[in-house]
Amino acid sequence: MRSCTATSSTQATSTQSCEPPPRESPNSIAADNRTCSMIDPHRISTGLDVFLDDPPPDVRGARLGLLMNQASRDRHLRLSCDAIAQRRLGRLTALFSPQHGLWGVEQANMIESPHSRYEPLDVPVYSLYAETRQPTAEMLEQVDVLLIDLQDVGTRVYTFAWTMCAALRACSQYGRPAIVLDRPNPIGGVVVEGPMLSEDHLSFVGGWPIPLRHGLTLGELARLYVAEAGLDVDLTVLPMRGWRRTMTWSDTGRQWIWPSPNMPTPTTAAVYPGMVLLEGTNLSEGRGTTRPFEICGAPWVDGLEWEQKLADIQGQPWRCLATRFQPTFDKWAGQVCAGVDLQLLDARRSMSVPLAVALISLAARTAPQHFRWLDPPYEYETIKAPIDILFGDSRLRQFVDSATGPPTLPEIEHLLQMNRAAWQQRCAPILLYS
């Protein structure tokens, strides 16, 4: 690794430390005893805001590439490409878009976005969810520095992180420096949920062994990936100002701009770490409705039975209420589904992975004649079962298939266990926030 730095604006009161924070909670990466109520939310500045306020000297006059989408906006809600162009910070020569395209139009699972052009700036938009998922030498030919400004959601299977990592590999391969403009983890940087991704289940929905809910910002994840993968890349991360690990999205004072078609609200992001596992089953995860990942079910589900049986296992942060819905597309399109509506009671304590395991187990046990695991292909994986690459290994599928009765909470916790101390140790050198 040639270099990996974190730079703060000179206008900030102090430089962000890359050392691990002084306190840790048992199920966290790091946290201290100060609460986010001590922070003025209107002072939260993203890495893009910091970049616009105090740009690194290396970008002035440089040809800039920018990996972004419609959620990449500054404090005034300007698109990052427009804000950078208006400040005349170098010359934007190429834009790159992640899955779903520059405007978040395309749906998920190998529905690719075409290359296009951003007419207001008359620059090409190279899709990194097309025939290639990594910038090519030709795409980077007119780029001196690659900027990365994406809103992640804090879950391993969300593909923006792996598009970023692919871009960092390209920068390493073709000798381009990269600058990550950091943004909040909308579900906070304290709670971590297993399991850890096994190395033999790497895919486009999990490009490096990290937990399902990892607790990092995208900038921190970039630092971890570059360090552990040994990339020879000149990486700079511009940290946020004012963000703390204890914050969820409502604490930031920022507008939520949906980063993908089925991530309409911060609540969606909060339930996503667990509910995304339903993508590996024939249960509807609510795609094709106004509340994806917050409602789930199928035509053969008894929602009232689910509500009753989940009451003993769901815990305090959630309530599961019987509901019915009719997806307009995706699984069970046009059919009335019964299931449950997940009501988030406490975003700061939410842990959705155990609940999702209970939901899948309940579906398999109460309707074995209907429940199915989906077959590949899924997100360019053509051999392994989708549920295995989503979960991180085959243990959830084996757990459900071998069950002789309803799972207990201790059994679910055992399934999801991970070496938290080892994860904290891996993260300690790359953390940017306390």
Domains in the chain (CATH in brackets) are 3-253+421-430 (3.40.50.12170), 266-416 (3.90.1150.140)
pLDDT value of position 14: 31
pLDDT value of position 109: 87
pLDDT value of position 34: 42
Q: What's the token pair of residue 411?
A: 């059994």
259 pLDDT higher than 80: yes
Mean pLDDT value of segment 244-261? 96
Q: Is the peptide bond before 377 cis (omega within 30 degrees of 0)?
A: yes
What angle in degrees, to the nearest 10, is found between the helix axes of 409-416 and 352-366? 120
Which has the higher per-residue pLDDT, 82 or 40?
A: 82
pLDDT value of position 3: 53
pLDDT value of position 108: 86
pLDDT value of position 16: 35
Q: Indicate the average pLDDT of the chain.
A: 91
345-402 pLDDT per residue, tens: 888 888 999 999 999 999 999 999 999 999 999 999 999 999 999 999 999 999 999 9
pLDDT band (50, 70, 90) for residue 283: very high
Mean pLDDT value of segment 270-279? 98
Give 257's Cβ-side CA count (13 Å radius): 20
pLDDT value of position 315: 61
pLDDT value of position 355: 93
Give 165's Cβ-side CA count (13 Å radius): 26
- What is the percent of the chain where pLDDT is above 90? 83
Across the beta sheet with 295-298, the strand order is 295-298, 337-344, 318-325
179-229 pLDDT per residue, tens: 999 999 999 999 999 999 999 999 999 999 999 999 999 999 999 999 999
Quote the CA–CA distance of 417 and 119 in Å, as a whole number.
49
Quote the CA–CA distance of 139 and 245 in Å, as a whole number.
36
pLDDT value of position 35: 43
A 10 A CB-CB count for 382 gives: 8
320-353 pLDDT per residue, tens: 999 999 999 999 999 999 999 999 888 888 899 9
pLDDT value of position 409: 86
Give 83's Cβ-side CA count (13 Å radius): 21
pLDDT band (50, 70, 90) for residue 253: very high
302 pLDDT higher than 90: yes
Which has the higher per-residue pLDDT, 81 or 27?
A: 81
91 pLDDT higher than 90: yes
Quote the CA–CA distance of 188 and 335 in Å, as a whole number.
36
Mean pLDDT value of segment 280-304? 98
Q: What's the token pair of residue 76?
A: 């005034």
State the residue for tokens 């994840």.
221
With left for phi above 0 and alpha for psi between -120 and 50, is residue 415 left, alpha or beta?
A: alpha
Quote the CA–CA distance of 416 and 310 in Å, as a whole number.
18
**Cβ contacts of 177 within 8 Å, gap of 6 or more:** 58, 144, 145, 146, 171, 233, 234, 235, 236
Quote the CA–CA distance of 59 and 423 in Å, as a whole number.
34
pLDDT value of position 29: 67
